[in-house]
C-alpha cells in the first residue's frame, strides 16, 4: 500500500460545520467522519475503533479525547485553541496544532479598522448618509473622540499584537504593552501588570488568548484605570472581559467607547452592549476574508497530512510540542 493509500484509509473526525475548502481537501486525502457537534455521547463504536484525527474549530474537551482511544492529532482551525483541552491531549499523547501566522495580518487590519470605527463613529456616519439623514437633517455630528494624542496599550504582545503595534506606529502613537513576560527585542514600554498598563494609556487593545489565566482580566478595576477618555478594543477572546462591568463602564462614563469583535457567549451579545450608543460591534470577523480562511484551512489540513505521512506536526501548540507520532 502506498503512502497516499495509507492516508486515504485514515479516519478524520469533523464535528459540526467546517470550512468548505478544508472539507474538500480532507475528502480527497482522508476518510472523513462527521458528527453534529463535538460531543463524546455522539461517538460510535466504529469511530472509537477507526478515528485517528480530529479537524475542528475547537470545542474538543477531555471527554471527547478519551472517547477516541486511537486519536493521534487534533488539528484546530484558528490560532486560538483555548476551547481545546491541550493539556489533557498531551497527557494522552495526542498532538494539537493550530493555524498561526497565516491570519496575523488580517486580524491586525481588523483591529485597526475597529479602533477607527469606534473612535470616529464611521458606521454610524455611514448610516446617517444611507438613511437620508444627511440630506434631510444636515451634516453628521462631530465625533467627540479622535486618535490624535492617544496612548495605546496592547494586552497580549504575540504575533498579532506586534502586527497591530507596527501599524499604530504609522499613526504616530506611543505604544506600551502587557504580557506574561517582556518580549525580547521590542522597544515598546513594558508593564508587568495589566492594571499598570491601563493606568499608563487611554486606549487598550486586547489580543489576549482565552483560558483560566485571562478569564475576565479586563474588569471594573482595569476599565476605571483606563479613564473617562478611554477606549477599549477586543480582537482576542470574549472570555477575557467582564462584559457586565464593561456595559456598566460604558453606560456610566467610566470609559468613553468600546469596539468588540469577540464575545463571551457567541453569537449571543449582551443586550446592554447592543444598546450602548458608544460601541462598535462586529460578529467575530477578525480573520474572515476568503483569502485568509483558505490559508488557515490549508494549514489545518497540512498539519494532518504531515503528521500521518512524516510523523511530525507543522505548527504544534506549546503544550504538545514533545508529543511523538505513534509507530
Asked if 269 and 160 sit in the same domain, the reply is yes
Asked if 196 and 51 sit in the same domain, the reply is no
Give the pLDDT of residue 250: 98
Regions of the chain where pLDDT drops below 70: 1-7
Domain CATH code at residue 299: 3.40.50.720
Asked if 169 and 76 sit in the same domain, the reply is no
Number of structural domains the chain divides into:
2
Of the residues 151, 159, 284, 294, only one is catalytic, namely 284
pLDDT in tens, 44-94: 999 999 999 999 999 999 999 999 999 999 999 999 999 999 999 999 999
Give the pLDDT of residue 1: 45
Asked if 257 and 168 sit in the same domain, the reply is yes
pLDDT in tens, 136-170: 999 999 999 999 999 999 999 999 999 999 999 99
Task: Tell me, yes or no, whether 155 lies in a domain.
Answer: yes
Asked if 93 and 135 sit in the same domain, the reply is no
CB-neighbour burial class of residue 325 (10 A; exposed 0-12, middle 13-18, buried 19+):
middle
Asked if 226 and 136 sit in the same domain, the reply is yes
In the residue annotation, 237 being an active-site residue is answered as yes
Task: Tell me, yes or no, whether 153 lies in a domain.
Answer: yes
In the residue annotation, 294 being an active-site residue is answered as no
Asked if 94 and 38 sit in the same domain, the reply is yes
Asked if 78 and 111 sit in the same domain, the reply is no
Of the residues 266, 312, 321, 326, only one is catalytic, namely 266
In the residue annotation, 88 being an active-site residue is answered as no
Asked if 240 and 261 sit in the same domain, the reply is yes
Give the pLDDT of residue 58: 94
Domain extent for 184: 104-281
Asked if 159 and 76 sit in the same domain, the reply is no
Task: Tell me, yes or no, whether 16 lies in a domain.
Answer: yes
Task: Tell me, yes or no, whether 326 lies in a domain.
Answer: no
Task: Tell me, yes or no, whether 327 lies in a domain.
Answer: no
Task: Tell me, yes or no, whether 325 lies in a domain.
Answer: no
Of the residues 25, 150, 237, 293, only one is catalytic, namely 237
DSSP code of residue 238: G
| pLDDT > 90 fraction of the chain, expressed in percent and rounded | 97
Asked if 38 and 117 sit in the same domain, the reply is no
Asked if 178 and 242 sit in the same domain, the reply is yes
Task: Tell me, yes or no, whether 87 lies in a domain.
Answer: yes
- 13's grid cell: 473526525
Handedness of CA 264, 106, 321, 17 (dihedral sign): positive
Give the pLDDT of residue 327: 74
CA distance 279 to 148: 19
Cβ-defined contacts of 162-168 (< 8 Å, 24+): 162/186, 163/104, 163/105, 163/107, 163/108, 164/108, 164/111, 164/112, 164/205, 164/207, 164/235, 167/108, 167/109, 167/112, 168/112
Give the pLDDT of residue 8: 73
CB-neighbour burial class of residue 196 (10 A; exposed 0-12, middle 13-18, buried 19+):
middle
Give the pLDDT of residue 2: 53
Amino acid at each position: 500500500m502506498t503512502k497516499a493509500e495509507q492516508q486515504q484509509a485514515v479516519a478524520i473526525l469533523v464535528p459540526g460545520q467546517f470550512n468548505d475548502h478544508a472539507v474538500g481537501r480532507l475528502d480527497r486525502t482522508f476518510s472523513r467522519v462527521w458528527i453534529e457537534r463535538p460531543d463524546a455521547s455522539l461517538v460510535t463504536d466504529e469511530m472509537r475503533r477507526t478515528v485517528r484525527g480530529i479537524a475542528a474549530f475547537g470545542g474538543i474537551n477531555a471527554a471527547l479525547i478519551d472517547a477516541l482511544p486511537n486519536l493521534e492529532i487534533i488539528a484546530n482551525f484558528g490560532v486560538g485553541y483555548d476551547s481545546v483541552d491541550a493539556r489533557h491531549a498531551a497527557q494522552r499523547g495526542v498532538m494539537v496544532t493550530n493555524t498561526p501566522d497565516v491570519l496575523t495580518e488580517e486580524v491586525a487590519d481588523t483591529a485597526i479598522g475597529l479602533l477607527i470605527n469606534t473612535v470616529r463613529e464611521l458606521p454610524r456616519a455611514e448610516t446617517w448618509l444611507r438613511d437620508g439623514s444627511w440630506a434631510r437633517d444636515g451634516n453628521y455630528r462631530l465625533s467627540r473622540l479622535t486618535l490624535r494624542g492617544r496612548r495605546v496599550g496592547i494586552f497580549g504582545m504575540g504575533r498579532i499584537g506586534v502586527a497591530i503595534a507596527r501599524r499604530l506606529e504609522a499613526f504616530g502613537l506611543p505604544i506600551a504593552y502587557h504580557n506574561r513576560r517582556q518580549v525580547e527585542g521590542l522597544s515598546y514600554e513594558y508593564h508587568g501588570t495589566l492594571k499598570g498598563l491601563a493606568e499608563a494609556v487611554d486606549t487598550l487593545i486586547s489580543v489576549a488568548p482565552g483560558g483560566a489565566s485571562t478569564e475576565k482580566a479586563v474588569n471594573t478595576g482595569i476599565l476605571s484605570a483606563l479613564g473617562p477618555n478611554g477606549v477599549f478594543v477586543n480582537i482576542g477572546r470574549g472570555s477575557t472581559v467582564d462584559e457586565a462591568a464593561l456595559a456598566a463602564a460604558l453606560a456610566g462614563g467610566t470609559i468613553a467607547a468600546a469596539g468588540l469583535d469577540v464575545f463571551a457567549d457567541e453569537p449571543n451579545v449582551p443586550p446592554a452592549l447592543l444598546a450602548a450608543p458608544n460601541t462598535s460591534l462586529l460578529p467575530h470577523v477578525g480573520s474572515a476574508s476568503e483569502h485568509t480562511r483558505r490559508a488557515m484551512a490549508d494549514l489545518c489540513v497540512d498539519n494532518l497530512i504531515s503528521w500521518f505521512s512524516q510523523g511530525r506536526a507543522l505548527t504544534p501548540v506549546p503544550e504538545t510540542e514533545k508529543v511523538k507520532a505513534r509507530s
